[in-house]
Chains A and B, each alone.
Chain A
Amino acid sequence: MAVRQALRRAGGRLLATQGAMAPAALGVAGRGLSTSAEPITLEIPVPFKGHNVEPPSRTVETSAQELTEFFRTMFVMRRMEIAADSLYKSKFIRGFCHLYDGQEAVCVGMEAALNDKDCIITAYRDHCTHLGRGGTVLEVFAELMGRKDGCSLGKGGSMHMYNKKGGFYGGNGIVGAQTPLGAGLAFAQKYLKVEGVTLAMYGDGAANQGQLFEAMNISALWDLPVLYVCENNHYGMGTAEWRSAKSPEYYKRGDYVPGLKVDGMDCLAVKQAVKFAKEYALKNGPMVLEMDTYRYHGHSMSDPGSTYRTRDEISGVRQERDPIERIRKLLLSHEIATVAELKTIEKEAKKEVEDALAKAKESPSPDSEELFSHIYRKSYGAQAYGADRKEVVVTLP
C-alpha cells in the first residue's frame, strides 16, 4: 500500500487526535502488536541547535502506531535500496544510481509532519523520497530498469522520478538547481494561497552552490514558505565537508535566514523540526534545516565509498546511529512490539519489496512511440526527426 498514505494517517493528524485506528486498517500484522494512537511522549536525545531562532522543544509526541509505521516504512526503503544495489550489479539498472540507505529517517520523519498540500523537491538521491510522497516500490524499480511501468514511463531513470499529484518535483540531476526551483514552488503556493510549504532538499555538496544563496535571498525578501533542507551526509561524492566548505555549519549558512540543526538519523527529531519549521515558514518565510545524516553506500554505484572514508567509520555509524535500529529499540523498550512481531513486519516488508521487484521485471520496455511523446504539451504540429531524418519524421503529439 502507498507508504505515504499510511504515514499521513499515522503522522500529521495524530498529535491532534486521540482515537485509535484499527490495526487491521494499516495492514500491520501481529497479535498483540500495539498499534494504538495513544500519545507517547519521548525526549529527543540529541539537542537541536538554532541559528537566529529558538529551537523547538526536545519533547515530542508520538504513538505506537506512528513508531511502528516509521519502522515498517524505513525497512521497506532499506530493502528497496539494497535490492537496487543488486539490480545495478546484475546490469538491470544502467547509468547512474545513487542510493539512500542510511538516510531514511530524513524523508520518513519529514512526511510525518507534512501533508498533501506541501511539496518536496530534491536532487538525484530520490528513490526513497519518491516513495515517501506516495510513490510505489514497483514504479521505482520499473523506472530504474527503464520499463513502461516506471513512474516516468522509463524515460527518466534513477535521477528523474516525479509525482506532481503527490507534491514531489523530483529527481534532479544538476546539483543545486533544485533549490531555486523549490523556492519557485513555494512562490506558487503563496501566490495561490495554499496552506503548504515546500521543502527544497540538497546535500552538503550542493550547499556551496551560488544559486542556493540567490534563492535564499529572494525567498527571504518575499517571505516565501520554503524550507531549505540540507541532508548533510558529510561527503559530496568523494569530498568531505571540511574540504569543500569554509563553514560546514550549514544550518548557519542562511545568515539572515534562521536555521536549525537536527539529528537526521532520528525520525522523531526530524518530524519535530519539520513541524516547527513549517509553522514558522507559513508565517515568516524561509528556514534552513540541516539534517545530520549518513549514507552507507558510496556516492553512486561506481563509487566504493571507501577511498575517502574508512570502513570503521561506516560501520561505526551503522552500529551507533542507524535510524531503523533506533526505532526498533524504542518499540522494544516501550513494549510496543516483541522481537518476533518485528521480525514479522520485516518479513512482510521484504516480501513487499520482492513482489514489487518481480512485477517490475515483467514490465515491458516502453513502446518506440514514446521516444517522441512529451516533448511539448502543445506542439502546433511541429515535426521531430529520428537519426535518419528521411525515414523517421514524426508530427509531435
Chain B
Amino acid sequence: MLGVFRHQANGARLIVSKFLGQGKGGCSVRRPFVHASPLSRGMADVAVVADKMNVRDALNSALDEELTRDPLVYVMGEEVGQYQGAYKITKGLLEKYGIERVRDTPITEMGFTGIGVGSAFYGLKPVVEFMSINFAMQAIDHVINSAAKMLYMSGGKISVPIVFRGPNGAAAGVGAQHSQCFAAWYGSCPGLKVLMPYDAEEARGLLKAAIRDPDPCIFLENELLYGVEYPMSAASKDKDFTLPIGQAKIMREGKDVTIVTFSRQVEIALKAADILAKDGISAEIINLRSIRPLDRPCINNSVRKTSRLVTLEEGWPQHGVGCEIIATICDESFFYLDAPPERICGADVPMPYAVNLEALAVPTMDDIIRIVKRCCHRGRAAA
C-alpha cells in the first residue's frame, strides 16, 4: 500500500494512495483514489490569536506556538493529523509541521500512550491527545504507573515531560461510556499535574504552561466549551504567555459565601452569582484551574473571609474533588465556618442518554441557587 506526498502546482500537498487489489476477484476497493489534503480545499488553517477566540482556536494556537518554540514537542493521537482533529483542536498542524511532529495513531490507546511516555523518558515532549478522556482508561496504567510515578521511583533520574489532553466529562447525549469526569481520579495521584481550563485564555495559557512543564500533566478540556468565544487579554496574545500551574483564580469577589468550581461550571456559577446578588447574597467564585496541585491557600483565605463554602463539580460525588476541598477547609479553617459546607456534584449514576434524565444527572443553575441559599440559611432548611 503506497502513500506518497506530491506537491501540486499551487503548493498544496496531495496525499495519493492506492488500494492494491487482492488479485483477481479481489474484494477490497481497488481503484486508486486521491486524498486531497484539506489545506488544498482551504479548510484547515492554524488559528490566529485574536481579541476574541473560542476555546478550540485558543488550544490550537497554543499547540502551534509550542511546536514552533521547541522541536522536542510533538503531537500524537487518533485523527489529529489528516482529519484535522476529531474536534478540530489540531487543525492545520499536520500541514504546518509534517508527519514527524503530528502523528496519527491507530485506535490503540494503551499502545500509543506507552510509546508517548517512553519517548518522554528519553527527552521528547509529547502531547498525547485522547479523543475522549474516557478512552484514556485504556491507557491509564501508562498515565499513572509509567508517567506519574517515574520520577519518584527512579530517585529523580527520569522525568516525564508529557501532556495528556482531551475532552473530559459530560457532553450532550453521549451516554454512559463517554461522559465520565476524571478530575477526582487523576487528582488523587501524586506525581501528576491535573489542569482544567475554563475559558479560551485559560485554555491557551494553561496548555502552554503544561507543555513547558517538566512533569506529566493531564489537561482536561470540556467539549461543550470548544466552540464558545471569549475575550482575550492583550497579554494572552504573546507567544510566551503562560498561566501558573497550581494557582486558582478568583473570578468574582464576594463576602457571603465561597463557591469553588472549575471548567464549565464556572460559567454557570457566575450566572448564578448574578441572580444571588439580586437576593442580597454576595458569592465569591473561585475557579480552581488546577485540580492538582490544589491552591489551598486561595480556597482557605476565601472561606476565612466569607465563612461559608459550596463546592461545585459535574463529576460523581463520592470521593470527588469537592470532598478534598471540604477536607482542606476542615483541616485549616474549620472554626471560620458558620455553616456546614455543601457540595454540589453530578448524580450518583452512570450518565443516562435520555435528555430529561441527563439533565437530572448534572448540576443546574437552580441547584446552585437553592443550595447556596440553604448554605446561607435562606430558603428551606436542610433535611
Is B177 a contact partner of A47 (Cβ separation < 8 A)? no
Is B347 a contact partner of A243 (Cβ separation < 8 A)? no
**Binary interface profile of A, 233-250, with partner B (CB < 8 Å = 1, else 0)?**
010111110111100100
Distance of A345 Cα from B162 Cα, bound (Å): 59
Q: Taking the complex as formed, is B69 at the interface, i.e. its CB lies under 8 A from any CB of chain A?
A: no
Distance of A248 Cα from B18 Cα, bound (Å): 13
Distance of A156 Cα from B358 Cα, bound (Å): 11
Which residue of chain A is the closest to B348 with respect to CB atoms?
A384
Is B354 a contact partner of A146 (Cβ separation < 8 A)? yes
User: Could you pull out 11 A-B pairs where Cβ atoms are within 8 angstroms?
Assistant: A46-B26, A95-B173, A155-B353, A156-B353, A157-B175, A173-B134, A239-B82, A313-B29, A387-B367, A389-B343, A393-B383
Q: Which residues of B contact A390 (CB under 8 A)?
A: 342, 371, 374, 382-383
CB-based closest 7 A-B pairs: A94-B173, A95-B173, A157-B353, A146-B354, A242-B1, A173-B177, A238-B83
Query: Which of A47, A174, A208, A243 touches B25 (beta carbons < 8 Å)?
Result: A47
Q: Which residues of A contact B134 (CB under 8 A)?
A: 173-174
A317 → chain B, closest Cβ, in Å? 7
A191 → chain B, closest Cβ, in Å? 27
Is A313 a contact partner of B33 (Cβ separation < 8 A)? yes
Which among B78, B108, B349, B354 has the greatest number of chain A C-beta atoms within 10 A?
A: B354
- Known: A45-B25, A174-B134, A368-B360. Is A244-B107 also a contact (CB below 8 A)? yes
Query: Which of A47, A159, A208, A375 touches B349 (beta carbons < 8 Å)?
Result: A375
Given contacts A154-B354, A387-B346, 20 further A-B contacts (CB under 8 A): A94-B172, A96-B173, A96-B174, A146-B173, A155-B354, A156-B176, A157-B173, A159-B177, A173-B178, A239-B83, A243-B104, A309-B35, A365-B354, A366-B356, A368-B357, A371-B361, A384-B347, A387-B345, A390-B371, A390-B383
A45 → chain B, closest Cβ, in Å? 7
- Known: A95-B173, A384-B349. Is A243-B3 also a contact (CB below 8 A)? yes
**Binary interface profile of A, 294-336, with partner B (CB < 8 Å = 1, else 0)?**
1000000000000111101100110000000000000000000
Query: Which of B1, B78, B356 touches A239 (beta carbons < 8 Å)?
Result: B78
Q: Taking the complex as formed, is A175 at the interface, i.e. its CB lies under 8 A from any CB of chain B?
A: yes
Query: Which A residues have a C-beta under 8 Å from some C-beta of B?
Result: 45-47, 49, 94-96, 143, 146-147, 150, 152, 154-160, 172-176, 205-206, 208-210, 232, 234, 236-240, 242-245, 248, 261, 263-265, 292, 294, 307-310, 312-313, 316-317, 365-366, 368, 370-372, 375, 384-393
Q: Taking the complex as formed, is B234 at the interface, i.e. its CB lies under 8 A from any CB of chain A?
A: no
Distance of A160 Cα from B175 Cα, bound (Å): 8
Query: Which of A147, A155, A210 touches B352 (beta carbons < 8 Å)?
Result: A155
Is B83 a contact partner of A237 (Cβ separation < 8 A)? yes
Q: Taking the complex as formed, is B118 at the interface, i.e. its CB lies under 8 A from any CB of chain A?
A: no
Is A371 a contact partner of B383 (Cβ separation < 8 A)? no
Distance of A238 Cα from B94 Cα, bound (Å): 15
Q: Taking the complex as formed, is B110 at the interface, i.e. its CB lies under 8 A from any CB of chain A?
A: yes
**Binary interface profile of B, 309-344, with partner A (CB < 8 Å = 1, else 0)?**
000000001000000000000000000000000111
Query: Which of B108, B172, B354, B363 touches A210 (beta carbons < 8 Å)?
Result: B108
Which residue of chain B is the closest to A238 with respect to CB atoms?
B83
Q: Which residues of B contact A150 (CB under 8 A)?
A: 354
B2 → chain A, closest Cβ, in Å? 8
B195 → chain A, closest Cβ, in Å? 24
Distance of A246 Cα from B38 Cα, bound (Å): 25
- Known: A155-B352, A155-B357, A366-B356. Is A175-B107 also a contact (CB below 8 A)? yes
Interface residues in B20-37 by Cβ distance below 8 A to A read 22, 25-29, 31, 33-35
Q: Interface range on chain B: under 10, 10 to 19, 20 to 34, or 35 or more?
A: 35 or more
Q: Which residues of A contact B43 (CB under 8 A)?
A: 307
Q: Taking the complex as formed, is B19 at the interface, i.e. its CB lies under 8 A from any CB of chain A?
A: yes
- Known: A209-B107, A386-B347. Is A312-B357 also a contact (CB below 8 A)? no
- Known: A46-B25, A385-B317. Is A154-B106 also a contact (CB below 8 A)? no
Q: Which residues of A contact B360 (CB under 8 A)?
A: 368, 371, 386-387
Which residue of chain B is the closest to A291 with respect to CB atoms?
B27
Which residue of chain A is the closest to B177 with respect to CB atoms?
A173
Is A307 a contact partner of B38 (Cβ separation < 8 A)? yes
Which residue of chain A is the closest to B20 with respect to CB atoms?
A242
Q: Which residues of A contact B19 (CB under 8 A)?
A: 234, 242
- Known: A157-B173, A307-B38, A308-B83. Is A147-B354 also a contact (CB below 8 A)? yes
A249 → chain B, closest Cβ, in Å? 9
Which among B17, B28, B111 has the greatest number of chain A C-beta atoms within 10 A?
A: B28
- Known: A385-B347, A387-B367. Is A236-B28 also a contact (CB below 8 A)? no
Which among B19, B107, B343, B362 has the greatest number of chain A C-beta atoms within 10 A?
A: B107
Query: Which of A307, A316, A385 touches B31 (beta carbons < 8 Å)?
Result: A316
Is B367 a contact partner of A388 (Cβ separation < 8 A)? yes
A21 → chain B, closest Cβ, in Å? 33
A194 → chain B, closest Cβ, in Å? 28
Q: Which residues of A contact B83 (CB under 8 A)?
A: 237-239, 307-308
Q: Taking the complex as formed, is B96 at the interface, i.e. its CB lies under 8 A from any CB of chain A?
A: no
Q: Which residues of A contact B347 (CB under 8 A)?
A: 371-372, 384-387, 392
Is B1 a contact partner of A248 (Cβ separation < 8 A)? yes
Is B27 a contact partner of A46 (Cβ separation < 8 A)? yes
B177 → chain A, closest Cβ, in Å? 4
Distance of A392 Cα from B361 Cα, bound (Å): 11
Q: Which residues of A contact B357 (CB under 8 A)?
A: 146, 154-155, 365-366, 368, 370-371
B210 → chain A, closest Cβ, in Å? 26
Q: Which residues of B contact A385 (CB under 8 A)?
A: 317, 345, 347-348
Query: Which of B22, B138, B175, B356 touches A49 (beta carbons < 8 Å)?
Result: B22
Which residue of chain B is the closest to A206 with respect to CB atoms?
B107
Is B3 a contact partner of A95 (Cβ separation < 8 A)? no
Is A388 a contact partner of B371 (Cβ separation < 8 A)? yes
Distance of A174 Cα from B361 Cα, bound (Å): 22
